[in-house]
Amino acid sequence: MIPDPAPNTITRPYRGLSVQEVEVPLTELDLVPFLLGREVYRRTDYLVLRKGSETAVVAVRKASIDPLFSPVVEARVLAVPEQVVSISSPETDVGNATALARAAHAHRRAGARAYVVQGRYEHVNFIWEPAPVRIRVTEVVPPKPPKLFAMAEQVVAFDEDLPPIELVLDAVDIRDLAAANPAGRYLLPCRGSSVDLGGEVAFLDTRPARREDWLMIGCERSLQFHRHFYGDEPPRVDICPRRRASDAGPTLAKCCLLERGMELDGSTAVVPWGSNLDEIRSALRRLTGVARLDEATVS
């Protein structure tokens, strides 16, 4: 028997979904006998059937996938019109689960189970009971939006294997840390974090000529640099996103002590401070269970 799809199911690739106009009523009693024995394309797993303004979603099992077309040997109506929301969203990439979930969220309706979206290039796909995976992105600001968060958004937009994801920024704000630790002078890791903190600000990456009586707002690597440059360790407020991570669910963070690759530490995936899209993609795949175990270093 064809089971219910799992939440967040979409047709992958979306050519496995066939959209057809029919004349029969969109009920299980009418659709199942109508479909049994009818030929469908060998890649077709789901049907979106339309009659007038109504839409139903049906899963089918074929006799074989070897010929180009094969008769339906089992059909199950997954959602009748009262359980389907049809959406026209020309900007949506219907091959991307997150994009489908966003379209569904914008048109959510009580009692709906399937959201059928006609999107970019007039292609059609559906998402079943969308429930995006919430992933916290722990990152230092400013700048805002921070680079890691923006790159994670890029990955979510192009990786069609990922489930729908909701990225939530967990900001380590240098301004808040400075306000909680007032000082006359501050030392920040780099000019990229340039910000008005209400006191004199120097940047470690410029290697100031003279050691000042400053408070460092930085990470372990910054402390190592300071030790090398000036031979001592200043008072410091730690900004390491990795150390801020907790058991609050799947988290993407970065660490300057990791130079390449990705590490998985419990529910936290850690990438380098200067990570690339491949490393972030690997992290998101591990956090959502898409990737193989050998794609990560588990600590």
| Each residue's pLDDT tens digit, 207-222 | 999 999 999 999 999 9
Other beta carbons within 10 Å of 38: 13
- H-only helix segments in the chain: 28-35, 97-106, 147-158, 174-180, 220-230, 241-244, 277-287
Q: What is the mean pLDDT of residues 85-113?
A: 98
Mean pLDDT of 252-269: 93
Average pLDDT of span 251-257: 94
C-alpha to C-alpha distance for 98 and 248, rounded to whole angstroms: 21
Q: What's the rounded mean pLDDT across residues 216-236? A: 96
pLDDT in tens, 100-120: 999 999 999 999 999 999 999
pTM of the shown model: 0.89
Q: State percent of the chain over pLDDT 90.
A: 85
Q: Among candidates 29, 27, 42, which has minimal Cα distance to 79?
A: 27
Res. 183: pLDDT tops 90: yes
pLDDT for residue 40 is more than 50 = yes
What pLDDT score was predicted for residue 179? 93
**Whether the predicted pLDDT of 263 surpasses 60:** yes
Q: How far apart are CA 193 and CA 257, in angstroms?
A: 19
Q: How confident is the model at residue 299 (pLDDT cuts 50, 70, 90)?
A: very low
Instruction: Supply the pLDDT for residue 246.
Output: 66
Instruction: Please identify which residue in the block is written with the tokens 């029919």.
Output: 22
Torsion of CA 294, 295, 297, 299, to 10 degrees: -80
Considering only CA atoms, give the Rg of the chain: 26
Residue 244: per-residue pLDDT: 78
Domain ranges of the chain: 9-128, 132-299
